[in-house]
Amino acid sequence: MKRLLIALAATTCLTAPALADDDRIVVGFATAETGFMQAYDKPAQDAAMIRIKEINDAGGLLGKQIEVVNADTKTDRAEGAKAGLSVIDAGADMVVVSCDYDFGSPAALAAESSGLVSFFLCAESIKAGIQGVGPNSFSASVLAAVQGATMAEWAYTKKEARSFYRLLDTWTEYNKGICDGFDWMLPQLADASLVGEDTFLNEDASIAAQITRIKSLPEEPDAIMLCTMMPGAVSAIKQIRAAGINSMILNGSGVDGSYWLSAVPDLSNFFVPVQGSIYGDDPNPEVTAFNAKYKDATGGDPSTQYVYPGYVMIDVWAKAVERAGTTETSAVVAELEKMSGEPTLFGPRTFTSEIHHQNQARYLIVETDAGKPGVVDEWTISKPIPVADLMK
Amino acid sequence: MSRSPLRRSLATPVLLGLILVAFALVAWAVGSKPFNQTIIDIFLKVIFAVGLWVFIGNSGVISFGHIAFACLGGYVAAWTTIKPMMKGISMPGLPDWLMQTEIPYWAAAAVGAGWAAVWALIFGAVLMRLSGIAASIATFAMLAMVNSIYSNWDSVTAATSSVVGIPIVRSVWPYLIAAILAVVLGWAYGISRHGLALRAARDEPTAAAASGVNIPRMRLIAFVVSGAIMGMGGALYAHSIGIVTPDTFYLGLTFITLSMLVVGGMGSLSGAVLGVLFLSSLIQGLRWLEAGVQVGTSTFALPGGVQEIALGAVMILILMFRPAGIMGNRELTLPRAGSDTPGRSGPTN
């Protein structure tokens, strides 16, 4: 009820702008409650709420209960700016914005200009942070480039893949990011070679031309780095396998989840990096416990690994606030930037004054074998991807 | 008959201006950031609707392409106001002189208007020879074309990625001034001989042509003026949220601004402005209801997404009972004893 009142007061503007009130700690969610981004924002936000509840149940943050205010961005950029301003007016100490950089940035820019910390729920572009918003902005997920680099290095080391084929879906920045990371890693792997590369578009009904080029190679490549995402990924994978190409397929985290596997029956030799396992076989039993908690709270299992960054976000932010002893922006940012290998449920997290994102992270490797996904390994790239390479 | 069209119709821009000032004063008095942003958004829509009216209202040709000019203006703001260092990263293909340019937002709005006007002239020279549905489809093709180019020209527009770093202007006053400027421009065009000739061509093309009206030329003038207004609006839109992407300026914005014009009444400048104010207020009201309203001890809230549905329903109802829109073809004027009844005979705008 109180939450609704706050939201109402904020949006109807019956009140003067709330001054920073030291008696409350408020997290403002300027995220999509309607529109297509809701499918991405809601699960991560649910996970964030679970962490907030855990903290509140354990006595709160700095002895205060964390309060939450919401505003709907309606998956619209102009509304996003309003939503950001509206949670700020409602007294937010930290502003959580939409998963995607394009849709989250208007609210994040509003937070930045009000001198507040902002967190992207699960954006994986370098721009979601210092580079595209400002010095007080962070992302709770891991850079897409790290996913591509992880898969390349892991396949090279553990699967002895030497010949790689790069197939890029140019639809989104995220896809390009995966392949950028792959491109950065490949030259560092001795005697690994790129035997060919190609592009397609997510909406392409057929990638027959691209497949023909793979088939006409003198021999099948050891691995295909497939930089794509839903919904086009399913059709691309199906066509590659239907053409009789049995190379291992490496992907980004965007194709995690078992919801689509029935479309490609008995898929094998298929690898995805994930921050935590939704399949109940995470090496960390606490992740499985979290999955159960998530099911209690929302009525369903996590459908992809993109649930987890929301939990990490509140976790690292609350730790920084606890250490700083205040929610004041510069103190919290300073504490966040001190985090180096900070343990979380989903791997260690590092922030520096140069990058508010993960350019190196532990990933679990999920293999789908005969249509059944499961964790087979974990991998951390041998060195972080330099910021200069991420910015090109 | 003795009064000039200027004096006879002066009340319209003055009244509309006063209404806009009243909205700005409310935003200022309330002092809430999101409400302020809402009012800014309304002013931007007023600029767009007036820009649309200048062409559609006077020529009678529905244009689905005007948001393309807003896109052109928005990217001018990105090209000219972002810090050179940031431009180098996101848009490395810009020519050197443009890369080093950094001008204030109001200048960017003026340049945006000019840039859009230039392209309106180029496109218009071809398109204005068409009429009716063919012209409408052609303008739509223009929108798709501009959108495609801006979505794919990686080195100059950063393709579909958001272009960030545009200085954000959160004060309501510049937008108010721009909206009033658009209204005054629209009004001045409407009462000019070109506006009159174009309306004559709209109502009686054959008679107008026989009286010496060069219809394509008259349409072209309206197209350029409206393109400039849209360009200004697009640049300011970029400054209101700080980012631009090509899909911001596409079908969504096209149809919401067109509906505002149609609901207000395509035939009059007052209709364009009031349509925006009415529908925007309605949208805002529904959004508050979605967020929840306290009634006694219980909270009443509409399910999310009802706003869009209710908006559609209200628009249908308005058009059922007032097919020509809220204002019909009338302008907002002061009631004056003894004056010729406004709007009945002859153009009053």
**Per-residue pLDDT tens for A29-85?**
999 998 888 888 999 999 999 999 999 999 999 999 999 999 999 888 888 999 999
Q: Which of B254, B286, B261 is nearest to B275 (CA)?
A: B261
Q: Which CATH number is associated with domain A144-274+362-390? A: 3.40.50.2300
Q: Tell whether B257 is within 8 A of chain A (Cβ).
A: no
d(CA B221, CA B234): 20
Please, are residues A107 and A82 in contact by the beta-carbon 8 Å criterion?
no
Question: Is B308 part of a structural domain of the chain?
Answer: no
Question: Is B278 part of a structural domain of the chain?
Answer: no
Q: Cβ B292–A4 below 8 Å, yes or no?
A: yes
First to last CA, chain A: 48
- Residue in chain B lying closest to A127 (CA): B164
Put simply, the chain B residues between 151 and 190 with a CB less than 8 A from any chain A CB are 160-162, 164, 168, 170
A170 CA to chain B: closest CA distance, Å?
A: 11
Q: What separation in angstroms does the CA of A296 have from each of A259, A305, A362, B161?
A: 20, 17, 27, 38
pLDDT of residue B336: 63
Q: For testing the chain B interface, which of A86, A125, A202 should be mutated: the one with the most B CBs within 10 Å? A: A86
- Residue in chain A lying closest to B35 (CA): A13
| Predicted complex ipTM | 0.79
Q: Cβ A83–B161 below 8 Å, yes or no?
A: no
Contacts of A359 (CB under 8 A, 6+ apart): A143, A145, A146, A384, A385, A386, A387, A390
Q: Tell whether A367 is within 8 A of chain B (Cβ).
A: no
User: How many domains does chain B fold into?
Assistant: 1
| pLDDT more than 70, % of chain B | 95
d(CA B166, CA B70): 16
Amino acid at A336: L
- Residue in chain A lying closest to B303 (CA): A34
A143 CA to chain B: closest CA distance, Å?
A: 16
Which positions in chain A touch B37 (Cβ < 8 Å)?
A: 81-82, 85
d(CA B183, CA B49): 10
Q: For testing the chain A interface, which of B28, B30, B35, B297 should be mutated: the one with the most A CBs within 10 Å? A: B35
d(CA A125, CA B202): 51
Q: Cβ A8–B168 below 8 Å, yes or no?
A: no
Model confidence at A355: pLDDT above 90: yes
Give residue-wise pLDDT tens across range B143-168. Answer: 999 999 999 898 999 887 888 889 99
Q: Tell whether B4 is within 8 A of chain A (Cβ).
A: no
**A64 - beta bridge partners?**
A61
Which 8-state DSSP code applies to residue B248?
Answer: G
Tokens of B29: 């008095």
Q: Which of B277, B231, B232, B313 is nearest to B26 (CA)?
A: B277
d(CA A318, CA A14): 31
Please, are residues A226 and A236 in contact by the beta-carbon 8 Å criterion?
yes
d(CA B50, CA B266): 10
Give residue-wise pLDDT tens across range A241-270. Answer: 999 999 999 999 999 998 999 999 999 999
Q: Cβ A17–B304 below 8 Å, yes or no?
A: no
Q: Which of B172, B151, B38, B316 is nearest to A12 (CA)?
A: B38
pLDDT of residue A237: 95
The stretches in chain B having pLDDT less than 70 are 1-3, 336-349
pLDDT of residue B338: 45
First to last CA, chain B: 15
Q: Cβ B32–A72 below 8 Å, yes or no?
A: no
What 3 state SS string does B91-149 have?
CCCCCHHHHHCCCCHHHHHHHHHHHHHHHHHHHHHHHCCCCHHHHHHHHHHHHHHHHHH
Q: Which of A149, A161, A110 is nearest to A133 (CA)?
A: A110
Q: Tell whether A115 is within 8 A of chain B (Cβ).
A: no
Q: How confident is the model at residue A22 (pLDDT cuts 50, 70, 90)?
A: low
Q: Tell whether A202 is within 8 A of chain B (Cβ).
A: no
pLDDT of residue A392: 66
Question: Given its phi and psi angles, is residue A269 left (phi above 0), alpha (psi -120 to 50 degrees) or beta?
Answer: left
Tokens of B220: 């072209």
d(CA B283, CA A76): 14
pLDDT of residue A344: 94
pLDDT of residue B230: 97
Provide the whole-model pTM: 0.84
Residue whose structure tokens are 């606890």: A322
pLDDT of residue B2: 53
- Residue in chain B lying closest to A17 (CA): B32
Which positions in chain A touch B252 (Cβ < 8 Å)?
A: 76
Which positions in chain A touch B292 (Cβ < 8 Å)?
A: 4, 7-8
Write out the residue limits of the CATH 3.40.50.2300 domain(s) in chain A. Answer: 2-142+286-338, 144-274+362-390
Q: What separation in angstroms does the CA of A352 have from each of B60, B85, B199?
A: 59, 22, 63
Model confidence at A6: pLDDT above 80: no
Please, are residues B273 and B50 in contact by the beta-carbon 8 Å criterion?
yes
Q: Cβ A127–B164 below 8 Å, yes or no?
A: yes
Q: Cβ A82–B41 below 8 Å, yes or no?
A: yes
What 3 state SS string does chain A have?
CHHHHHHHHHHHCCCCCCCCCCCCEEEEEEECCCCCCHHHHHHHHHHHHHHHHHHHHCCCECCECEEEEEEECCCCHHHHHHHHHHHHHCCCCEEEECCCHHHHHHHHHHHHHCCCEEEECCCCCCHHHHHCCCCCEEECCECHHHHHHHHHHHHHHHCCCCEEEEEEECCCHHHHHHHHHHHHHHHHCCCCEEEEEEEECCCCCCCHHHHHHHHCCCCCCCEEEEECCCCHHHHHHHHHHHCCCCCEEECCHHHCCCCCHHHCCCCCCEEEEECCCCCCCCCCHHHHHHHHHHHHHHCCCCCCHHHHHHHHHHHHHHHHHHHHCCCCHHHHHHHHHHCCCECCCCCCECCCCCCCCECCCEEEEEEEECCEEEEEEEEECCCCCCHHHHCC
- Residue in chain A lying closest to B306 (CA): A34
Please, are residues B24 and B173 in contact by the beta-carbon 8 Å criterion?
yes
Q: How confident is the model at residue A161 (pLDDT cuts 50, 70, 90)?
A: very high
Q: Which of B230, B229, B190 is nearest to B343 (CA)?
A: B190
Mean of per-residue pLDDT scores for chain A: 91
A70 CA to chain B: closest CA distance, Å?
A: 9
pLDDT of residue A172: 81
Q: Tell whether A388 is within 8 A of chain B (Cβ).
A: no
Select A2-142+286-338's CATH number: 3.40.50.300, 3.90.1150.10, 1.10.3720.10, 3.40.50.2300: 3.40.50.2300
Number of helical H runs and strand E runs in chain B:
16, 4
d(CA A78, CA A163): 46
Q: Cβ A81–B240 below 8 Å, yes or no?
A: yes
Which positions in chain A touch B299 (Cβ < 8 Å)?
A: 1, 4
Please, are residues B72 and B112 in contact by the beta-carbon 8 Å criterion?
yes
Q: Which of B231, B253, A79 is nearest to B261 (CA)?
A: B253
Contacts of B222 (CB under 8 A, 6+ apart): B54, B55, B58, B59, B189, B194, B195, B198
Helices A2-12, B269-291: inter-axial angle, 10-degree rounding? 170
Residue B179: which H helix or E strand, with range?
helix B172-191
Tokens of A287: 């992740």
**Burial of residue A60, with CB atoms counted within 10 A of its CB: 0-12 exposed, 13-18 middle, 19 or more buried:** middle
Average of per-residue pLDDT across A220-237: 93
d(CA B260, CA B154): 33
Which positions in chain A touch B161 (Cβ < 8 Å)?
A: 102, 127, 173
B30 CA to chain A: closest CA distance, Å?
A: 7
Q: Tell whether A17 is within 8 A of chain B (Cβ).
A: yes
Q: Which domain holds residue B105?
A: 11-251
d(CA A135, CA A317): 15
Q: Which of B326, B270, B232, B237 is nearest to B19 (CA)?
A: B270
Least CB-CB distance to B32: which of A4, A17, A71?
Answer: A17
Question: Given its phi and psi angles, is residue B278 left (phi above 0), alpha (psi -120 to 50 degrees) or beta?
Answer: alpha
